[in-house]
Amino acid sequence: MSTAQSPEELIRLPLTPAIKDKFIGLAGQTDELDQVTREIGAPAYLLNFYCATPIDLSSIGLGKALHIPVQVSQREGGRKSVFDLSPGEEVLVGIIVTNEGLALRFMTRKTGNSSSAQTGDIYSTRITNREGEAFFESEGPLEIGTTSEDRAHFRTTAAMLSGTQVPALDGGWSCVAISKCMFSSAE
């Protein structure tokens, strides 16, 4: 994280999108927008706002926010399930929206010997601005519940990022690898 900017400043959105000028002359028709956004490095993602949850990120300088997950889907803009990642593989799992801007949340499977994740496999979480500058990174084990009332859960530990101590982030809910979908406001 840049010492000159807070996380809020890093994710703040300008009043006019920075990529606006890149569109000029590239899309003559609306059906060309998907191709153009891919070409300029601003592809669309398949976000599921029905699965959005509130999240308190005060501990990392963002305050109360909204986490909107990228849909697990084989469709363009979707993502692979974090349970099916190979060790070392990373996916964009969602966006975090505050009243000032937005951030991107990535997860990486760090360890594991099976094709599907198991309790104890280590995952990392990385939160960046849209330009890819990370201001939070941490890792922790996957915990998969043993009953239909349990949920898969990621717990990360406190870590150092650019020489600065960052707090632990308790992470999320999942509908995968359990028989009942459980929503949680804890992230």
In this prediction, residue 157 carries a pLDDT of 52
143 is in which domain, residue-wise? 7-171
Q: Does the residue 187 lie in any domain?
A: no
Please give the DSSP secondary-structure letter assigned to residue 31.
Answer: G
**Contact yes or no for 92/104 (Cβ under 8 A):** yes
Cβ partners under 8 Å of residue 16, min gap 6: none
- Which runs of consecutive H residues, i.e. helices, occur in the chain? 7-11, 20-23, 33-39
What value does the mean pLDDT take over residues 93-100? 92
Residue 25 has what pLDDT? 73
Mean pLDDT of the chain: 77
Amino acid (one-letter) located at 14: P
Helices (H), 24-180: 33-39
Structure tokens belonging to residue 172: 């999320």
**How far apart are the C-alpha atoms of 24 and 46, rounded to whole Å?**
25
Give the separation between CA 92 and CA 78, rounded to whole angstroms: 9
**For 114-148, how does the pLDDT look when each residue is reduced to its tens digit (9 = 90+)?**
888 888 888 888 999 998 999 888 888 887 765 54
User: Structural domain tally of the chain?
Assistant: 1
Q: What is the DSSP letter of 77?
A: T
Beta carbons of 106 and 79 less than 8 angstroms apart? no
30-73 pLDDT per residue, tens: 777 788 888 888 888 999 999 888 888 888 888 899 999 999 99
Q: How far is CA 93 from CA 68, 148, 163, in A?
A: 9, 23, 26
135 assigned to some structural domain: yes
Does residue 182 sit within a domain? no
Residue 35: partners with Cβ closer than 8 Å, 6 or more residues away: none
Judge residue 49's burial from the number of C-beta atoms within 10 Å of its C-beta, 0-12 exposed, 13-18 middle, 19 or more buried.
Answer: exposed
- Cα first-last separation, the chain: 21
Closest CA to 6 of 93, 97, 101: 101
* Full-model pTM: 0.77
Predicted confidence at residue 186, as pLDDT, reads: 35
Residue 104 domain-assigned? yes
Residue 74 lies in a domain: yes
Q: Dihedral of CA 59/60/65/69: which sign?
A: negative
**Residue 132 forms part of a structural domain:** yes
In terms of pLDDT, which residue wins out, 34 or 93? 93
How confident is the model over 150-159, as a mean pLDDT?
A: 52
Query: According to the model, what pLDDT value does residue 59 have?
Result: 82
As a whole number, mean pLDDT of residues 89-107 equals 93
